[in-house]
Chains A and B, each alone.
Chain A
Amino acid sequence: MSVRLKDLPTEELLHKGNLACAGCPEMIGFRHVLRALGPETIVINATGCLAVITQMGVPLVPHFHVLFENAPAVVSGIDDALRVQGRREGVNLLVVAGDGGTADIGLGSLSGAIERGQDFIYVCFDNEMYMNTGGQRSGTTPYLARTTTTPVGVESRGEPRTEMRRKDMVEIAVAHGIPYAASASIGYPLDLVERVEKAARVRGPTYIHVHSPCPTGWGMEPSKTVEAAQLAVKTGCVVLYEVEEGKRRVTRPVARRAPVEEYLKLQARFRHVVADPAALAEVQRGVDERHAAILARMA
């Protein structure tokens, strides 16, 4: 029973106009997430692009920009306080953060909140780098991607850590025995809304990892955000799946994967890879291997 376009909630919970770059994926994603959750939602926002671009009253729901790494702890306090006061019913507690705030500096705090079984929806917008500080690598930066801290030069070809060892946040959440975790993409908004609606029905922690191609950081035309997001899925760089009480299911199967080159060539951060057949083959192998490993877990 998937969400159809005509079922989409129509209430917009963001003011028109914001401080984001043209083509910002986080704004697209945040808009859909809020529409899915509705006005009875309190947003706790870790430091990062989203916290900055929503400043000056962009959200129409309560919005609390906290620190870079403590949003899961803050939401824990809110969750418990509302319970003591008997006011927990009917309110969604939504945490939004970037990949840096989630996979790197905030991982301990998130792990603690999941493990305690706090009731919240955690949405990570993964643009695969620290964009608020200008594009440094993060624990989710893909193999060989150029960032400001993994430049391309005589001694370096971009991000050195291989594809198989990228932090896999969905699996990290699942390893906690989380009741619901999923990957999603801003390129597939109906799927994203469905994941969020599902998470909202769960009592307890839920985690949604939203792939968010960033034109500014990746060196793309702002008009290519959605296309890049869809190509990431079509090439198998991103697999959309959910894990419900431990049961895995691919939510958007891809019958025949396109070559990764189609995805990479949109992005200046991979220019040196696209220009070098050996590097390109290496990246393709890494993606194949990771893809196979994810699908193998579905069985």
Chain B
Amino acid sequence: MTTEFWNGNRAAAEAARQARVEVVAAYPITPQTHTVEYLSEYVAAGRLNARLVRVESEHSALSACCGASAVGARTFTASCSQGLQLMSEVLYFASGMRFPIVMAIANRTLSVPVSIWADHQDTLVNRDCGWIQLYAASVQEVYDLVLMAFRTAEDPRVVLPAMVAYDGFILSHASEPVETLSDEVVKDLLPPAPPHLRPLLDTKDPKQLGEVLFPDFYPDIEYKKHRALEESLAVLGEAFEDFRSRTGRRLSAVETHGCADAEIVIVGLGSMMQTARHAATRLRAEGMKVGVAQVRVYRPFPERELARAVAGARTVLVLDRDIGYGSAGMVYPDVTRALYHAPSRPDVLNFIVGTGGKDITPKTIERCVELGRGGYRGMSVFWPDARGPAEGIPYTPGVKACPCG
């Protein structure tokens, strides 16, 4: 194991190289572009025996991965934001075909207004397309999770595509020390494509793929796909355990910090959870019992793990770096569902923060805690970032409520 100083895109590309991907198809988009540039360099330098399909769009990028997967190749792509939305149709196709493609995503806001900075809107609107979704909070996690994604996607109990999401610029471009594994260790973690992934398209054994399915049978197939995704949680758990035994690094579906005795627990995805830990430490010093639960595996949703993590809390604050327009943040309903039947059902409040790349600082988190610490008082969704009418920005009365600036 050596320590490297990598940014998130480099970490994703290195993990894909070590996974010995055979076909890479991707299209440039900021802040994701470097991932594919790194992979192009590895191929050019003979460090990776793969073909790069230099496609003309993201729709084609994922489609090419589907083709490669149909003949049994290990495939990788990367995208975000507008590019991910352009892929949307193919996302469902890939999961319906049960192609274990892995995609790295440097989260970026969706236009318009244009923003190249991070929020989670792009991956969250695609959370229900039958892919595994993992969210990294550090560059180290980007590296680790890409490896775990390949391993789980290809498991015979799963056979589904997987996305590894990490915040654009914050993780994609900022460099951090990364403990890397040797190619040999990765080979052990990720053996060559297992036999159940033999080519589906084979002239020696002709099959018809992508067929029409009549309504009588449709629910059966949907249920199987849904169950496979649910099952992937346990498979990921096994992979994390194997990973720990080889590397000493612990990964879990929900990572907790100071939750055991916490009265208030902050829940959310991605790099802002590092900031939340920092803020929680400060608040603890002031005597407030604050814990942090980082949701690392978002699809399948680790309902039980989350309920366990926040079991003692009075109030749960869900930070959403996104907004489900006209409703609430998109992570919020998942958390409320997980906690509705919990024995001591806590108050669950939602904070829309950091959309469009607005900085999330320890102060942002402290502000959320200040607004939410009293529990539910007639309002569940807060926008501590958004300026109200005093600043001349129109707002929806039901949503805005806090005296904030």
- Show the binding face of A for B, using Cβ within 8 Å: 39-42, 44-45, 51-52, 54-57, 59-67, 69-70, 72-85, 87, 91, 108-109, 111-112, 115-116
Q: Are A109 and B59 in contact (CB under 8 A)?
A: yes
Contact B55 A73 (CB under 8 A): yes
User: Using Cβ atoms and an 8 Å threshold, which residues of chain A touch B73?
Assistant: 77, 81, 84-85
Known: A77-B25, A84-B50, A108-B56. A39 touches B203 (CB 8 A): yes
| Distance A79 CA – B22 CA, assembled complex (angstroms) | 12
New contact pairs (16) apart from A67-B93, A74-B64, A79-B67, CB-CB < 8 Å:
A39-B203, A64-B209, A70-B59, A70-B90, A72-B60, A73-B53, A76-B25, A78-B70, A81-B23, A81-B67, A81-B69, A81-B72, A84-B50, A84-B51, A112-B56, A116-B55
CB distance from A157 to the nearest CB of B (A): 35
CA distance A109 to B211 in the complex (A): 22
Chain A nearest CB, measured from B70 CB (Å): 6
B113 at the binding interface (Cβ < 8 Å): no
A219, chain B: closest CB distance, angstroms:
27
CA distance A68 to B25 in the complex (A): 19
Asked if B63 and A73 make an inter-chain contact with CB atoms under 8 angstroms apart, the answer reads: yes
Whether A112 pairs with B55 at a CB distance below 8 angstroms is yes
In the bound complex, do residue B66 and residue A40 qualify as a contact, i.e. CB atoms below 8 Å apart? no
Cross-chain contact A61 with B71 (CB below 8 angstroms): no
Known interface pairs A55-B211, A67-B90. Does A83 touch B51 (Cβ–Cβ under 8 Å)?
yes
Find the B residue at minimum CB distance from A112: B56
Contacts of A79 in B (CB 8 A): 67
CB distance A77 to B206 under 8 Å? no
- Please, could you name 5 A-B residue pairs with CB atoms under 8 Å apart, sorted by A? A56-B211, A62-B201, A77-B64, A81-B71, A85-B22
10 closest residue pairs by CB, A with B: A77-B67, A112-B56, A73-B60, A77-B64, A73-B63, A81-B73, A70-B63, A65-B210, A81-B68, A77-B68
Task: Confirm or deny: B208 has a beta carbon within 8 angstroms of a beta carbon on chain A.
Answer: yes
Q: Are B93 and A66 in contact (CB under 8 A)?
A: yes
B29 to chain A, nearest CB (A): 16
Closest B residue to A118 using CB positions: B53
Q: Are A55 and B212 in contact (CB under 8 A)?
A: yes
Contacts of A72 in B (CB 8 A): 60
A118: min CB distance to chain B, Å: 8
A51–B212 Cα gap in the complex (Å)?
9
A57 in contact with B208 (CB, 8 Å) = yes
Inter-chain contact A109/B206, CB cutoff 8 Å: no
Are B209 and A111 touching (Cβ within 8 A)?
Answer: no
B62 to chain A, nearest CB (A): 8
Choose among B51, B57, B70 the residue that contacts A80 (Cβ–Cβ < 8 A).
B51
CA of A74 to CA of B101 in the docked complex: distance in angstroms? 14
A61 touches B206 (CB 8 A): yes
Q: Which of chain A's residues has its CB closest to B211's CB?
A: A55
Q: Determine the chain A residues whose CB is within 8 A of the CB of B25 once the complex forms.
A: 73, 76-77
